[in-house]
């Protein structure tokens, strides 16, 4: 889902004066204690519209898959409630 809190209007003054800001440009910025990648969606006067959502946020994704095999769960997997893939141990 698209997070509306990541759709921001940022003052043009927050960017270097000589930077030619265009839609599609990306930059990283800290928000909420973590780094986020933002994409410029447009420039409107002194405001830069940016989107920090994943490019596929809000999109319906369709996958074509082929199931290669099925096996019964092990006793350990049943007791832990999830699959163990050989590298996962408790």
Q: Which residues, listed in sequence order, are joined to residue 40 by a DSSP beta bridge?
A: 50
> Which pLDDT belongs to residue 2?
96
Q: Which of 10-14, 15-19, 31-35, 66-70 has the lowest mean pLDDT?
A: 31-35
What is the value of pTM for the model shown? 0.68
> Which pLDDT belongs to residue 32?
83
Domains defined for the chain, CATH in brackets: 4-80 (3.10.50.40)
- Positive or negative torsion for Cα 35, 58, 64, 83: positive
Mean pLDDT of 66-72: 94
């Amino acid at each position: 889902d698209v997070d509306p809190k990541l759709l921001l209007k940022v003052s043009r003054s927050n960017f270097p004066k000589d930077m030619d800001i265009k839609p599609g440009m990306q930059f990283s910025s800290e928000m909420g204690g973590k780094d986020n990648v933002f994409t410029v969606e447009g420039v409107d006067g002194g405001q830069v519209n940016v989107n920090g959502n994943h490019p596929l946020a809000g999109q319906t994704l369709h996958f074509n898959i082929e199931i290669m095999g099925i096996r019964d769960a092990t006793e350990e997997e049943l007791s832990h409630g999830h699959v163990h893939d050989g590298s996962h141990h408790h």
